[in-house]
Structure formats: C-alpha cells, structure tokens
Structure 1
Amino acid sequence: MFIFAALILISLVLYIYYKVAIIRTSEPLIQHLHNSKARILLGSFIFFFGINQYLFYETQLSLFVAIIFILIGIFQMYSGWKRLRHYQNEYSKHDWN
C-alpha cells in the first residue's frame, strides 16, 4: 500500500509542476505540451487513488467508487497521451529559428 501512496504523491507533485510550467511559458505549443503531460499525470493520480482506496477499505461500495476512479483515470491518461503525441509531432515540425 505504501507504493500506491508514493505513486499518488509523485503524480500529484509532477502534475502541479507541469501546471506551473504552463504559466511560466509564453509559447502556446509548449504550453499544450505541458498541459498534455499534466493530463497524463492527473489521470495517473486518479487511477492510483482509486486502487489505493479499494485496497484500504475493501468494501463493495469502495469497489464501485474505485472502478469509476480507475475508468476516469484511464480515460484521462489516454486522452493526454493522444494529445502529447500530436503536439510532439507539431513541435518537431515547427521551425524554432
């Protein structure tokens, strides 16, 4: 259970890091890259939180809530991954000179 708590904390800290990085960057394409990374980390936070809550309580209600959290987390990670691949391709096409 400690591993899930560590993963939750790491994903939350990195999510906040990328959200702050969005504010510090003025280039819109780089902001979109940071936002897609933040979305992946938010999804992992929700995913690991759902797993951790089920393992902590182990009731039928917590199972249903954990399934909802896991599905939302997977959707967020998948959506962020698709956006990240798209913006990485756009970043590689962009001429920065």
Structure 2
Amino acid sequence: MIIFPIVIIVSITMYIYYKVAILRNNDELEQVYINSKSRIFLGIFISFFGINQYLYYQTMVALSIAIIFLFLGLLQIYSGYKRARHYGNERKKRIEP
C-alpha cells in the first residue's frame, strides 16, 4: 500500500506550505481563506494516517485509534471545505466590482 504514505507526505507538505503562505500575506481575508485550505490538508493527513496505522498493525487498539483519527480528520475536512467555500465567495465579491 504505497499510496497511503504518498498521500500522507503530500498532505503534510501542502499543510505546511499553506501555513507558511499565511505568514507571507497581509490581507486578513486572504489569510483566513488560506487557513481554511490548510485545514483541509490537515484533515486528509489525519484521516490517512489513522487508516495507514490500522492497516499496519491490525489490532483492536489500532482500529479504535484509527476510527478516532478518521472522525477527527473528516471533521477537519468538512470544516475547512465549508470555510474555504464561504471565504472564497467573499474573495470573489471583493475582486468583482
């Protein structure tokens, strides 16, 4: 299962990229929008990390931890998606006269 480590590495890399992008931007609306996109990648990282750990160990403890990680990751993805959609619309309103 080489796909899980690849997704984990890409998602944590994108999370760090967006967190650094927040520091380089001075516009508050843009910072909140970028932060919402970083939350999506954090959720992907947490979810896939939990699944990967269960597939590696395959015990009841790993299953319970994987379920918790999957739940928390899905909450992060959902929250980040809703915020990105909202603030993306706000950015469009600001750009369009």
CA distance in 1, matches of 2:62, 2:51: 10
TM-score (norm 2): 0.96
Q: Mind listing any 5+ residue stretches in structure 1 that lack a counterpart?
A: none
2:11 paired with 1:11: yes
Number of aligned residue pairs: 97
1:82 counterpart letter in structure 2 = K
Aligned amino acid, residue 28 of structure 2: P
TM-score, with length taken from structure 1: 0.96
Note the aligned Cα RMSD (angstroms).
Answer: 1.2
Shift of 1:95: 4.0
1:41 aligns with 2:41: yes
Q: Is 1:70 paired with 2:70?
A: yes
Shift of 1:96: 7.4
For structure 2, the 5+ residue unaligned runs are none
Q: 1:32 is matched with which residue?
A: 32
Confirm or deny that 1:52 pairs with 2:58: no
Please identify runs of 4+ aligned residues in structure 1 that moved more than 4 A.
none
